[in-house]
């Protein structure tokens, strides 16, 4: 739980704000201790879920990787940017399970491998793809998968595995598994879309909501405002689906970072439609609520082109880290932190409890340090007392 002794203007470096991290908050009788007079918000430390994989990436793969294993896949092909957290997550997750990963990264190899790029290179098989070819992702992924398969292997899109796993047609499953026990172990290659932003990614987020709603954690009765940063928006939609399907009085607030509100609403509708198609029988009791919308999409306190860092934000991350022991990054999680501060001021007098989901992003700081050298060089002087 984070308490602050002074309100800062959103987007500022927080130099006028004193943070206090209460690592053992009381979750009984209304969640907040009665003697907590300062505005505060809670943080779900999903950044600590895995030492190398972002929390939100691990959640998205929670439902995907088991299906890949069940269908005797040997190789996984996916793509992402040079510093793709998704690609790194796939590489590590595959290695942990004895699978081979093939990562198509946009652009050129950096002079110094660091951050997610370094992890992807260590754990996976990286190929750098010119931006002109990367523009047609579907063709790029299929072409590379076909090359890996050769004449004896097989290629399938993950969406087809999902459909087969949910199908009652045993023939479909047999078709996918027919080569599983061949003595020569032919390659079975699955293609996973960029960001793993498919419907199966929602399952891991729903499971997270179910876990958090246990009585000894956040509970099922108290109103919450759950804050998350939004890249593709898949994490936010998954949290919203979980809250509605479980009948929780939770409102999901997603800080838009990479698209317009129309783009995020379109993504929300697409994911809802896919979820209904695949899992409709399990959630037909809450269709009306789902159709009214799952997520409250909001602008970042200081909007900018996705991926850009503003002056003072690196120092803000340093200030937060030194006072709380919690590391946020200026591209993603700092935005959720700022919004949590805004909402906790609005809800200070008996309103909903504000909870920030820390999705991770630590390794992303290394790539940013290469790109924004001048901003990070300012850290050498440290912070004044």
Domain boundary residue among 144, 164, 196? 196
C-alpha–C-alpha distance, residues 364 and 333, integer Å? 11
Q: Within this chain, do residues 147 and 226 fall inside the same structural domain, yes or no?
A: no
C-alpha–C-alpha distance, residues 182 and 178, integer Å? 9
**Residues counted in the chain:** 385
Domain boundary residue among 134, 168, 196? 196
Q: Within this chain, do residues 191 and 277 fall inside the same structural domain, yes or no?
A: no
* DSSP 3-state of 75: strand
Q: Give residues with Cβ within 8 angstroms of 190, minimum separation 6.
A: 68, 71, 73, 75, 76, 77, 155, 156, 157, 158, 161
Q: Within this chain, do residues 376 and 334 fall inside the same structural domain, yes or no?
A: yes
| Measured CA distances, 123 to 39, 89, 91, 118, 132 (Å) | 43, 10, 5, 9, 26
Count structural domains, the chain.
2
Residues designated as active site: 84
Q: What angle (nearest 5°) sits at the alpha carbon of residue 83, between those of residues 79 and 88?
A: 60
Within-domain flag for 58: no
Q: Within this chain, do residues 359 and 214 fall inside the same structural domain, yes or no?
A: yes
Q: What is the pLDDT of residue 175?
A: 46
The domain in which residue 154 lies consists of 64-196
Q: What is the pLDDT of residue 297?
A: 98
Q: Within this chain, do residues 131 and 279 fall inside the same structural domain, yes or no?
A: no
Q: What is the pTM of this model?
A: 0.88
Token pair for residue 249? Answer: 């009085």
Within-domain flag for 76: yes
Domain boundary residue among 148, 169, 196? 196
Give me the residue label for tokens 């960001």. 195
Q: What is the pLDDT of residue 36?
A: 57
What is the residue-wise DSSP string for 256-304? E-SS-HHHHHHHHHHHHHHHHHHHHHHHGGGHHHHHT-SEEEEE-SS--
The stretches in the chain having pLDDT less than 70 are 1-16, 20, 26-37, 168-185, 281-285, 287, 348-350, 380-385
Q: What is the pLDDT of residue 87?
A: 98
């Amino acid at each position: 739980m984070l308490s602050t002794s002074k309100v800062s203007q959103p987007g500022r470096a927080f130099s006028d704000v004193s943070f206090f991290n209460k690592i053992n908050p009381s979750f009984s009788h209304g969640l907040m201790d009665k003697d907590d007079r300062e505005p505060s918000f809670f943080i779900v430390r999903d950044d600590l879920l895995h030492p190398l994989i972002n929390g939100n990436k691990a959640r998205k793969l929670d439902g995907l990787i088991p299906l890949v294993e069940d269908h005797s896949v040997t190789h996984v092909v996916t793509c992402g940017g040079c510093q793709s957290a998704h690609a790194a997550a796939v590489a590590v997750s595959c290695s942990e399970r004895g699978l081979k990963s093939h990562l198509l990264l946009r652009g050129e190899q950096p002079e110094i491998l660091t951050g997610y790029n370094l992890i992807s290179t260590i754990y996976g098989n990286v190929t750098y793809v010119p931006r002109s070819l990367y523009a047609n992702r579907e063709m790029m992924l299929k072409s590379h998968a076909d090359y890996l398969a050769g004449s004896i292997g097989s290629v399938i899109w993950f969406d087809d595995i999902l459909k087969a796993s949910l199908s009652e047609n045993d023939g479909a499953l047999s078709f996918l598994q027919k080569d599983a026990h061949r003595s020569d172990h032919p390659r079975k290659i699955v293609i996973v879309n960029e960001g793993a932003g498919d419907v199966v990614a929602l399952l891991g987020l729903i499971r997270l909501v179910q876990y958090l709603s246990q009585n000894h954690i956040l509970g099922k009765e108290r109103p919450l405002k759950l804050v998350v940063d939004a890249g593709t928006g898949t994490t936010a939609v998954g949290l919203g689906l979980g809250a509605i399907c479980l009948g929780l009085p939770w409102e999901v607030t997603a800080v838009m970072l990479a698209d317009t509100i129309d783009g995020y609403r379109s993504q929300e509708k697409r994911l809802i439609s896919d979820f209904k198609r695949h899992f409709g029988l399990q959630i037909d009791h809450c269709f009306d609520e789902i159709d009214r919308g799952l997520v409250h999409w909001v602008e970042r306190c200081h909007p900018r082109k996705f991926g850009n860092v503003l002056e003072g934000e690196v120092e803000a991350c340093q200030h937060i880290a030194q006072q709380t022991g919690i590391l946020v990054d200026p591209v993603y999680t700092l935005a959720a932190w700022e919004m949590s501060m805004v909402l906790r001021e609005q809800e200070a007098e008996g309103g909903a409890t504000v909870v920030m989901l820390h999705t991770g992003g630590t390794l992303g700081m290394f790539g940013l340090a290469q790109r924004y050298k001048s901003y990070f060089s300012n850290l050498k002087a440290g912070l004044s007392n």
